[in-house]
């Protein structure tokens, strides 16, 4: 077995069905790769979907991980993997036919590297103002670099691959990351430090079918901010990179109370402008709406980071650096 494709999922039965169909329609024969789907304790009909797909595809395996979080769920997939190479995709990512073949070709030329595939999001003609904001600022799709070298910060697991033995040697994902965000970048940092350099493979293409609304995205921002605190506790040398690198970063937090007050006051106006933008078309949004979204994203990310630092001061406990050998772990 050459490749193991690991896909975590939770309560997305319709999406995972489509994802499986696309990853099972590759240019390489199915006997050269396996597909491993790990269900993170879903309460919808995910289990029945996986059972049906496993009857259809002999190279499909699935398991259950009750411990919450994408880190633990992906680790369960790594432990089931029989391939020499692990390709990670998400349950809302639809692979192009040559995705696995492209990952293999890049690893043949670059042993022990981590290969980052190209991801696009189908928002080109969306009338939804917030999705247009994310589209134009590339906030939700930083996975595809335009040119030049890349580093661990591009290790987003919606389309990435690493040799299995390299993943095991660094201990896999840190399962202390139990909510959204940073668990993949943290692993990428440890991989890079171990000598696994990052390489971009534009031919390994996938489409990310994600359409978050405004409130959902802000909740994710807070979770990512909280996870950033965990990342910096593990690797304090990264604080300058992620918290202090911007010229205005140190000054922004003093404006957050003002933003919270002004956003509440201007909420009716923003609702009117948002509805008008939906009718206006698919081009760039108004400058005022753009500024509102920009500050809101920053503010909620800051809230999550501040919540983590507050929790740390109260508990005075440190994040446990895990990483027992994955080969010795067992999963349901």
Least confident interval from 219-233, 284-298, 314-328: 314-328
Mean pLDDT (whole number) for 148-169: 91
User: Is the pLDDT assigned to residue 290 strictly greater than 70?
Assistant: yes
The phi, psi pair for 57, rounded to 5°, reads -115, 115
Cα–Cα distance measured from residue 196 to residue 84, given in angstroms and rounded to the nearest whole number: 15
Rg (CA), the chain: 20
Q: What pLDDT is stored for residue 141 in this prediction?
A: 56
Alpha helices in 31-182 (DSSP H): 46-56, 70-80, 99-109, 129-137, 164-170
Q: What pLDDT is stored for residue 175 in this prediction?
A: 93
- Which pair of tokens denotes residue 31? 């006997």
- Which pair of tokens denotes residue 180? 């959204």
For domain 3-212, give the fold: Spore Coat Polysaccharide Biosynthesis Protein SpsA; Chain A (3.90.550)
Going from N- to C-terminal start, the domains of the chain cover 3-212, 215-315
Q: Scan for tokens 């994203």, then name that residue.
A: 297
Q: What pLDDT is stored for residue 330 in this prediction?
A: 42
pTM: 0.85
- Which pair of tokens denotes residue 6? 């690991």
Mean pLDDT (whole number) for 280-299: 83
User: Is the pLDDT assigned to residue 96 strictly greater than 80?
Assistant: yes
Q: What pLDDT is stored for residue 248 in this prediction?
A: 46
Q: What pLDDT is stored for residue 312 in this prediction?
A: 78
Least confident interval from 7-11, 16-20, 57-61, 118-122: 118-122
């Amino acid at each position: 077995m050459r490749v193991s494709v690991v896909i975590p999922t939770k309560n997305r039965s319709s999406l995972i069905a489509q994802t499986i169909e696309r990853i099972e329609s590759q240019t390489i024969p199915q006997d050269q790769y396996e597909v491993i789907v790990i269900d993170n304790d879903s309460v919808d009909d995910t289990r029945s979907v996986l059972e049906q797909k496993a009857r259809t595809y002999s190279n499909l395996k699935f398991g259950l991980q009750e411990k919450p979080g994408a880190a633990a769920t992906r680790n369960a997939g790594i432990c089931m993997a029989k391939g020499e190479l692990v390709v990670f995709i998400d349950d809302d990512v639809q692979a192009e036919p040559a995705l696995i073949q492209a990952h293999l070709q890049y690893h043949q030329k670059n042993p022990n590297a981590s290969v980052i595939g190209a991801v696009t999001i189908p928002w080109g003609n969306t009338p939804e103002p917030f999705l247009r904001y994310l589209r134009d600022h590339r906030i939700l799709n930083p996975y595809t670099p335009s040119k030049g070298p890349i580093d661990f910060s591009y290790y987003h697991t919606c389309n990435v691959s690493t040799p299995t033995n390299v993943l095991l040697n660094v201990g896999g994902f840190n399962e202390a990351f139990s909510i959204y965000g940073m668990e993949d970048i943290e692993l990428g940092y440890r991989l890079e430090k171990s000598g696994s350099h990052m390489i971009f493979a534009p031919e390994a293409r996938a489409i990310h079918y994600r359409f978050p609304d405004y409130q959902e995205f802000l909740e994710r921002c807070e979770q990512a901010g909280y996870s950033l605190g965990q990342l910096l506790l593990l690797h304090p040398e990264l604080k300058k990179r992620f918290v202090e690198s911007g010229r205005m970063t140190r000054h922004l937090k003093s404006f957050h109370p003002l933003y919270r007050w002004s956003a509440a006051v201007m909420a009716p106006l923003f609702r009117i402008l948002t509805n008008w933008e939906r009718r206006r078309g698919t081009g760039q949004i108004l400058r005022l709406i753009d500024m509102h979204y920009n500050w809101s994203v920053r503010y909620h990310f800051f809230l999550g980071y501040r919540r983590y630092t507050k929790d740390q001061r109260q508990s005075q406990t440190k994040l446990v650096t895990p990483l027992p050998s994955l080969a010795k772990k067992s999963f349901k």
